[in-house]
Amino acid sequence: MSSASDRYAQRGVSSSKSEVHAVVDHLDRGLFPGAFCKIGPDVLTGDPNKCAVIHADGSGTKSTLAYLHYRETGDPTAFRKTAQDSLVMNIDDLLCIGAIDGILISSTINRNARAITAEALGALISGTEDFLKRLREYGVGVVSGGGETADVGDLTGTATVDSCAVAVMPRKSVVDNANICPGLSIVGLASAGQAKYEDFENSGIGSNGLTSARHDLLAPYYLDKYPETCDPRTDPSLLYCGPYKMDDALPGSTLSVGEALLSPTRTYAPVIRELLESHRSAVCGLVHCSGGGQTKCLRFGSGVHFVKDNLHPIPAIFEAIQTASETQNEEMFRVYNMGHRMEIFCEPEAVPAIIALSESQGIPAREIGRTEASSEPNSRNHLSINHLGETYTYKLGA
């Protein structure tokens, strides 16, 4: 059997994005080279005390799941969740530099008009506006700058949903992940469950690894019926090779498989806004565990050994993916968030207050680990994940 990393590559996916980092890591890194996002000078107003950031991300292949649900049920509302996926992948990255106000966001929908009808398009657009309105109700300063809808049937069989966010903020307010160093506690905020500001239970899946999650869980039925959702160059044995239909029960969960896969990416904006208002001095860094899963932290700080030995319980969706695909733990932690998607690197004495703050919003939090001095000969960053008596090690650049 091929390894999990081979399966991802054969599906046209790069879990590490090493080829991207090989290029961009040599480019100018902005005013705060160690920050989560590239930050530049405020060229909009020229104020030397401020800085600006422009950030782009999207929902990835989760839009395909909304399409499958729509075609199977005639219900377009799943596209509202796709709109949230795209927005959160931008907004929660911006949270990691301390941007919680003055955010202007625009979305781009590329669709095949034969597949994505007017009612589906309407759900995407209304879902965007309604989600931004809800964020403002929780004190997050984000507004819509409009967007673009392009009919590109030659480029996509269904739809892609992407967003771009711009923010201007005081330089003194920037959370700079260059400050991640040995001696800190790591608090992880759970990705699953139901926050007070969410309307339904979340499986915790987020928007990373969905190409493999979709094909490893869902049955060949979807390949036969919806070939437009696949790349025809991919080995058919890797397409929709799972045991489930979307309305099947997810083992160990109250959700169906479709509900779990379609769970919209949770935003931590209400929690991080309050955190930065009440405990800013104790916060040394913030990491959104998106691309790279639990290894994302390796790219921040210097001379650090990240130790994660008290992780959240692994949500049922990841257990199901692993069982169906026979993916090893080492690769699961590299690809998926596995139970927490936001990490707070803080002074140890602040941990109880930060946990209480998160749990006041209905999001379980725990001290999932700590930072120690690197034990690598060249002091490069490395990570140890201890899980069920086994230790998995990862190194920056490896």
What confidence score (pLDDT) does residue 45 get? 87
Beta bridge partners of 382: 305, 395
What confidence score (pLDDT) does residue 1 get? 39
Q: Quick one: which H or E segment has residue 63?
A: helix 62-73
What confidence score (pLDDT) does residue 222 get? 98
Report yes or no on 285 lying in a domain: yes
Find the domain containing 34 and state its range: 4-202+262-395
Distance, in Å, from the CA atom of 260 to the CA atom of 268, rounded to the nearest integer, reads 19
Q: Are 245 and 217 in contact (CB under 8 A)?
A: no
What confidence score (pLDDT) does residue 2 get? 45
Report yes or no on 286 lying in a domain: yes
Joined together, the tokens standing for residue 209 give: 């690894």
Q: DSSP string spanning 281-345?
A: GGEEEEEE--TTGGGGGGGSSSSEEEEE-SPPPPPHHHHHHHHHHT--HHHHHHHS-TTEEEEEE
Distance, in Å, from the CA atom of 358 to the CA atom of 344, rounded to the nearest integer, reads 11
| Percent composition of the chain: helix, strand, coil (DSSP 3-state, to 5) | 35, 25, 40
**Whole-angstrom distance between the N-terminal and C-terminal Cα of the chain?**
23
Sign of the C-alpha dihedral, residues 338, 342, 347, 353? negative
232-249 exposure pattern, b = at least 16 Cβ within 10 A, e = fewer: eeeeeebbbbbebbbeee
Report yes or no on 223 lying in a domain: no
What confidence score (pLDDT) does residue 202 get? 97
Report yes or no on 228 lying in a domain: no
What confidence score (pLDDT) does residue 18 get? 58
Report yes or no on 194 lying in a domain: yes
What confidence score (pLDDT) does residue 6 get? 62
Task: Report mean pLDDT in 10-residue bins for the chain, 398 residues.
Answer: 55 58 71 97 94 95 96 96 97 97 95 94 95 95 93 93 96 98 98 96 95 96 96 92 98 97 97 97 97 95 97 98 94 95 98 98 98 95 96 90
Q: Give how many domains the chain has, as a whole number.
A: 1
What confidence score (pLDDT) does residue 44 get? 86
Distance, in Å, from the CA atom of 338 to the CA atom of 250, rounded to the nearest integer, reads 16
What confidence score (pLDDT) does residue 257 get? 98
Report yes or no on 229 lying in a domain: no
Q: DSSP string spanning 327-343?
A: --HHHHHHHS-TTEEEE
Report yes or no on 119 lying in a domain: yes
Angle (nearest 5°) at CA 57 between 214 and 177:
110
Report yes or no on 237 lying in a domain: no
* 125: number of Cβ within 10 Å: 17
Distance of CA 154 to the CA centre of its chain: 28
Q: Are 75 and 65 in contact (CB under 8 A)?
A: no
* CATH code of the domain covering residue 383: 3.30.1330.10
